[in-house]
């Protein structure tokens, strides 16, 4: 079973996304912000981190995860509300593998998981 961490300040979004992931047979964990997200990753590095790049500190979370010396390199997918090439470029250069536009559904997630080799 693959392990996914959802990082988003909105409790509602975390619940909805975790539910989607569980339906897709993922083990889903959640964090409201980057500090607790990083702690979760230190305890056990997930296979994939789905992180809202609109929240303060989360771009830095992506950079910190890429600096991490952990054996496992998680797939990082940034979630964003605006489809903007500058923002996508920034996310990729911080170390994200993919992005997905909010709001997203199961098909959009599946698409991104396939592109990154998770499914």
Partner 1 sequence: MNAADFSYLADLLKRRAGFHLSPNKTHLATSRLGPVARRYGFRKTDELFAELRDAPEDLARAVTDAMMINESSFFRDKSCFDHFRGVILPSLLSARAASRRLRIWCAAASTGQEAYSLAMILDEAKIAKEWRIDLVASDISSIAIARAIEGRYSQYEVQRGLPAHTLVRYFAQDGDQWRISERIRRMVVFRNFNLLDSYGWLGAIDVIFCRNAFLYFEPLAKRACLKAFSQVLADDGYLALGASETMEGASTAFISDDASVRGVYRKARPALRPIALAS
* 114 binds partner 1, rule: CB under 8 A: yes
Q: CB 79 → partner 1: shortest distance, Å?
A: 12
Q: Which residue has the tokens 């911080």?
A: 94
Which x/- pattern over 72-101 shows residues binding partner 1 (rule: CB under 8 A)?
Answer: -----------xxx--xx-xx---xxxxxx
Binders of partner 1 in range 7-36 (CB under 8 A): none
According to the 3-state scheme, what is the secondary structure of 10-76?
A: CHHHHHHHHHHHHHCCEEEEEECCHHHHHHHHHHCCCCEEEEECCCCCHHHHHHHHHHCCCCCCCEE
Binding residues for partner 1 (CB under 8 A): 83-85, 88-89, 91-92, 96-101, 108, 111, 114-116
């Amino acid at each position: 079973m693959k392990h996914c961490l959802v990082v988003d300040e909105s409790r509602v979004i975390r619940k909805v996304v975790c539910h989607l992931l569980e339906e897709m047979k993922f083990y889903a964990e959640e964090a409201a912000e980057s500090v607790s997200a990083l702690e979760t990753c230190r305890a056990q590095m997930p296979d994939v981190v789905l992180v809202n790049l609109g929240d303060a500190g989360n771009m830095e979370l992506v950079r910190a995860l890429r600096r991490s010396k952990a054996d496992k390199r998680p797939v990082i997918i940034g979630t964003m509300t605006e489809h903007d090439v500058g923002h996508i470029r920034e996310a990729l250069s911080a170390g994200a593998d993919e992005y997905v536009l909010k709001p997203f559904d199961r098909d959009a997630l599946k698409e991104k998981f396939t592109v990154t080799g998770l499914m």
